[in-house]
A and B are shown apart, each in its own frame.
Chain A
């Protein structure tokens, strides 16, 4: 498995550190039901068999956090984006969808 870092290009797996599912986001502690939401945030995982969005850290490279779209059944990588861009996009869409 080799990962194409948006800054550094294609690099070997040993340069990267894995965090986990990138679809997990920190809940708002002010909302009702926050305790349950934090439990799910900390412990529950969809554990996808198939295409998964994952957070990786380019530790032995540019130190960027990246979001990798990868098939957990075959290890095939489809897309790599900077986590910063993904987060900005997510915050934009959550603002535009706010009531």
Chain B
């Protein structure tokens, strides 16, 4: 039997006196039951958040999350931990702003320290045209009630006097700042949602890989897993990176390609950069973890991949961007690099919709913006699963938008997933 401790200053003090001997596991090691009202495929951030909101807000407690590995082994533990809602298009802004609002209350809601840190996200611009584009983006955000400030060169210099402002090719002219953006401890998001969902009766079933679907009369009625067959009233896929593979088992072909995105962390150093900064002339973004490591990344490798590792040309490109922006990182040693597999959709935006098969629901196509979307993705997917209609802020994320011409293409790249 698991103890349902509430984490608080008192429990921390109590355990300090007891030599930390009284903490129980954060969630049960559940074995699959024969049937649930809802089975979520994928125990990443989105799947766990979906299960949590189903139980907490929609009163559906007969829920299982099936995960092929262990909790935190996928993209929720492989991203660069940034949260922001600095989007341009009407289909996106309200959704990501809902996510930001959920982040702001997440720790109290889950009773879990996810280290939500609203340290500000600054996107630098390096030309007049880029300034105009950021002014437009900032205005779109403010029209939707999202905070945004367009800074000139002097204002940026006040925040970060040590950037390379006079780079011969790409001098910094200013930046678009969202002060409410920042970082969150990514593993803690998975653990916090898992613990909170478990407490509401959700079964989290690890090491259960889905190998097929059961259907009767055209309706999906269960999943076959490596830990047996599990019946389900409804099945939600939240397995971005591998959405195409799982959907193919149900006979679906999705408008998605899987691509590898690399990330990097350096050795721990003293406080160096206190916000999230992106270089606008290449693709490089950086923040510093509380342990002191510089966490940074850049572009996709650009070819289809299911290998959780990338190649050297992108490493070189990312680090060139970093050196152009902040030459003083040149002597910091890289500690590790890794890759995560992204569901790159055909317009760069996600899909939260019913599948064209009864009983099956899709949460897919998160491209490389999935982490910041975790709370809203979970809430909107739970809404769809519980009510059979889209959440107000996720109405645009339809599967058929590619057929009907209602794409949400923030970068205007068309149907070339590796460019989004």
Contact = CB atoms under 8 A, between A and B. Distances in A.
Contact of A72 (B248, B305, B402, B403): B305
B346 A47 contact: no
Interface string A7-50: 00000111001101100000000000000000110111111110
A45 B244 contact: yes
A72 B258 contact: yes
Interface stretch (B53-61, B93-101, B289-297, B306-314): B306-314
Given A18-B418, A39-B402, A44 B304 contact: no
Most buried by B among A40, A52, A75: A75
A73 interface: yes
Interface residues of B, number: 27
Interface residues of A, number: 25
A40 B254 CA distance: 10
Interface string B161-201: 00000000000000000000000000000000000000000
Contacts of B255: 43-45
Contacts of A39: 402-403
A88 B25 CA distance: 62
A77 to B, nearest CB: 11
B161 to A, nearest CB: 34
Contacts of B307: 72-75
B303 interface: yes
Interface string B328-358: 0000000000000000001000000000000
B398 to A, nearest CB: 13
B311 A1 contact: yes
> Which DSSP category, helix, strand, loop or mixed, fits chain A's interface?
mixed
Most buried by A among B248, B304, B346: B304
Nearest to A19: B416
B3 to A, nearest CB: 41
A54 B303 contact: yes
Nearest to A44: B253
B209 to A, nearest CB: 13
Given A39-B402, A43-B255, A43-B402, A72 B311 contact: no
Interface string A55-99: 000000000000000101111000000000000000000000000
Contact of A54 (B254, B304, B312): B304
B403 A12 contact: no
Given A20-B304, A42-B415, A47 B311 contact: no
Nearest to A36: B403
Contact of A47 (B244, B402, B415, B416): B244
B254 A49 contact: no
B302 interface: yes
Interface string B391-420: 000000000001100000000000111100
Nearest to A35: B403
Nearest to A18: B303
A48 B415 contact: no
Contacts of B418: 18, 20
A51 B257 CA distance: 14
B402 to A, nearest CB: 4
B253 A18 contact: no
A14 B244 contact: no
B136 to A, nearest CB: 28
Nearest to A39: B403
Contacts of B313: 12-14
Contacts of A49: 242, 244-245, 258, 306
Interface in B227-277: 242, 244-245, 248, 253-258
A54 B302 CA distance: 12
A45 B311 contact: no
B258 A47 contact: yes
A73 B304 CA distance: 9
A27 B359 CA distance: 32
Q: 9 closest Cβ contacts across the A-B interface?
A: A47-B244, A14-B313, A43-B255, A43-B402, A18-B303, A44-B253, A49-B306, A73-B306, A1-B311
Interface of A: 1, 12-14, 17-18, 20-21, 39-40, 42-49, 52, 54, 70, 72-75
Given A43-B255, A49-B242, 9 more contacts: A13-B313, A18-B302, A18-B303, A43-B346, A44-B254, A45-B257, A47-B304, A49-B245, A49-B306
18 contacts: A13-B312, A14-B316, A40-B253, A42-B415, A43-B402, A44-B253, A46-B244, A46-B253, A47-B256, A47-B258, A49-B245, A49-B258, A49-B306, A54-B304, A72-B304, A72-B306, A73-B306, A75-B307
Interface of B: 242, 244-245, 248, 253-258, 302-307, 311-313, 316, 346, 402-403, 415-418
